[in-house]
Amino acid sequence: MTLHTQALEVWNREISTAVAYLGKSDFYAALVDALSATLPVDYPQVWRYIEDSPEPSVLFHRLTGAQRKQQVDDYQAGLYHQDPFYQLSHTGELNTGFSHWRVAVDDNRQPFHDGLDVCDEVVFVAQIDAKTSVHLCLMRARQSRRFSAAELELLSACSPMVVQLIRQHCVQLQTLNPGIEAGVKQAVALFGKSVLTAREQDVLGLMLSGYSTRFAADKLGISTETLRRHRKNIYQKLDVSSQSEVFSLFISSLGCFDAAPEQDPLRGYFGRQQPD
Could you tell me the strand order of the sheet in which 43-50 lies? 57-61, 43-50, 132-140, 120-127, 97-100
Per-residue pLDDT reduced to its tens digit, 6-34: 777 778 778 878 888 888 888 999 999 99
pLDDT of 134 over the 50 cut: yes
| Domain of 221, in residue numbers | 180-270
**Phi then psi for 125, rounded to 5 degrees?**
-110, 120
Per-residue pLDDT reduced to its tens digit, 84-115: 888 777 777 778 899 987 654 554 445 566 67
Q: Please indicate, yes or no, if residue 198 is contained in any of the structural domains.
A: yes
DSSP E strands in 18-113: the ranges are 43-50, 57-61, 97-100
Q: Per-residue confidence at 276, pLDDT binned at 50, 70, 90?
A: very low
| % of the chain at pLDDT higher than 70 | 83
The answer to whether residues 161 and 201 belong to one domain is no
DSSP, residue by residue, 225-241 = HHHHHHHHHHHHHHT-S
The answer to whether residues 98 and 137 belong to one domain is yes
The answer to whether residues 167 and 221 belong to one domain is no
The answer to whether residues 199 and 245 belong to one domain is yes
Quote the CA–CA distance of 65 and 86 in Å, as a whole number: 24
The answer to whether residues 171 and 239 belong to one domain is no
Query: Maximum distance among all alpha carbons in the chain?
Result: 75
The answer to whether residues 146 and 75 belong to one domain is yes
The reported pTM is 0.64
The whole-number pLDDT of residue 108 equals 47
The answer to whether residues 208 and 110 belong to one domain is no
For residue 230, give every residue at least 6 positions away whose Cβ sits within 8 Å of its Cβ, in sequence order, or none: 199, 200, 203
Mean pLDDT, residues 178-192: 70
The answer to whether residues 110 and 43 belong to one domain is yes
Mean pLDDT, residues 162-185: 75
Instruction: Name the 3-class secondary structure at 43.
Output: strand
The whole-number pLDDT of residue 274 equals 47
The answer to whether residues 168 and 48 belong to one domain is yes
Instruction: Name the 3-class secondary structure at 38.
Output: coil
Q: Per-residue confidence at 83, pLDDT binned at 50, 70, 90?
A: confident
